[in-house]
Amino acid sequence: MTRREIRELIFKMVFRVEFHSEEEIPQQMRLFMDALDAAGEKDRAYMEQKVKDIIAHLEEIDTLIDQSAKNWKTSRMAKVELTLIRLAVYEIKYEPDIPTGVAINEAVELAKLYGEDNSASFVNGVLARIA
């Protein structure tokens, strides 16, 4: 699998956090991973660990987003955009091997696929303030 495909799958799993309780997340993770036919064991392990790490840092990530997003709070953001911003912020702050520009670009590209018409520019704007 490519890094972009892996990132997209991580986005989809992190998106589930908004709709399930903390206790349900491990079961949701298992269900999600079981449905992945194309992912090898190494990719699955990487995705699972990254999702767990993002969830572990959600409070810090959301605080940073709230401080940086002008006139917006995470509680008011659309869930697709919020999830993409969370993923990119995690990569920017906690994965030094991923260049900031790559994290932002990938979030913007996913926003074009999964978001509304103005999602890409919103995601780009918030991430530019954070970076």
**What does the mean pLDDT of the chain come to?**
91
CA 95 to chain centre: 13
Give residue 58's pLDDT.
94
Does residue 122 register a pLDDT over 90? yes
pTM of the predicted structure, to 2 decimals: 0.91
Task: Report the sign of the C-alpha dihedral through residues 36, 39, 40, 41, in that order.
Answer: negative
Which one, of 14, 92, 83, 88, lies nearest residue 51 by Cα?
14
CATH of 3-130, one of 3.40.430.10, 3.40.50.150, 3.40.50.720, 1.10.940.10: 1.10.940.10
**What residue spans define the domains of the chain?**
3-130
Does residue 79 register a pLDDT over 90? yes
Average pLDDT over residues 110-114: 96
* pLDDT above 90 coverage of the chain, percent: 63
Rounded to an integer, what distance in angstroms lies between the CA atom of residue 127 and that of residue 48?
Answer: 24
6-47 pLDDT tens trace: 999 999 999 988 888 888 888 888 888 877 777 788 988 899
* Cβ contacts of 68 within 8 Å, gap of 6 or more: 126, 129, 130
